[in-house]
Amino acid sequence: MAIPLLLTIAFNAMNLAYFWFVVLALSAAPRHGVQYSAQGGSAIEFSSAPPDTTLVSNVVFNNLTRAISGATTSNVSVQVCSSSKGVDSGTHIAQCDTFGPGYSFPAPAADPEIPLFVLHRVDAAYTVTPIIPGGLFNVVLPANLTFHRQVSMRSLY
């Protein structure tokens, strides 16, 4: 009688540990992307030009797909709001591009100290499935979870 209970606890613990790892990886990827976006090309290469949104999304995609074996461009969505895309003249909010499958990202906010700074923002959303699916061993987690992380950083340009 104890074996089914122990298996249930063990498999739920494995899934929770995997979800925790995914959350940590998902926290790092947009942070690297927004750092690259806000600091310009000098963050990765010897260039002072701000990178376009495609290059920033590639940094986030590469971070996630290399850290999480199940992450692909079909289950990772990235939104990049950067001054390289353009800045709205009325609200001083950086324009955004979205990459990957459809995910409804929240609207970007303006920097509180406009027009001095521009707020660069990178959002990443990842739909993850548990390592061990539910049903067979009473796994209490849902079949799919979507985690979303957002990171913002100021820039002078």
- Maximum Cα–Cα distance across the chain: 68
> Within a 13 Å sphere around the CA of 33, how many CA atoms are in the beta-carbon half?
33
Q: How far apart are CA 75 and CA 126, in angstroms?
A: 6
Instruction: Check pLDDT > 80 for residue 137.
Output: no
Give the per-residue pLDDT at 155: 80
**pTM across the whole model:** 0.83
pLDDT band at 38 (very low <50, low <70, confident <90, very high): confident
Q: DSSP assignment, residue 5?
A: H
Q: Spell out the residues 6+ positions from residue 100 whose beta carbon is closer than 8 angstroms to its own.
A: 61, 73, 74, 76, 77, 78
CA 129 to chain centre: 16
Instruction: State both tokens at 68.
Output: 């999480």
pLDDT tens-digit map of 53-112: 999 999 999 999 998 887 888 889 999 999 888 888 888 888 999 999 888 999 888 778
Task: Find, among 113, 117, 122, the residue nearest to 157 by Cα.
Answer: 117
Strand partners, 147: 126
Instruction: Decide if 51 contacts 41 (C-beta within 8 A).
Output: yes
Give the per-residue pLDDT at 11: 80
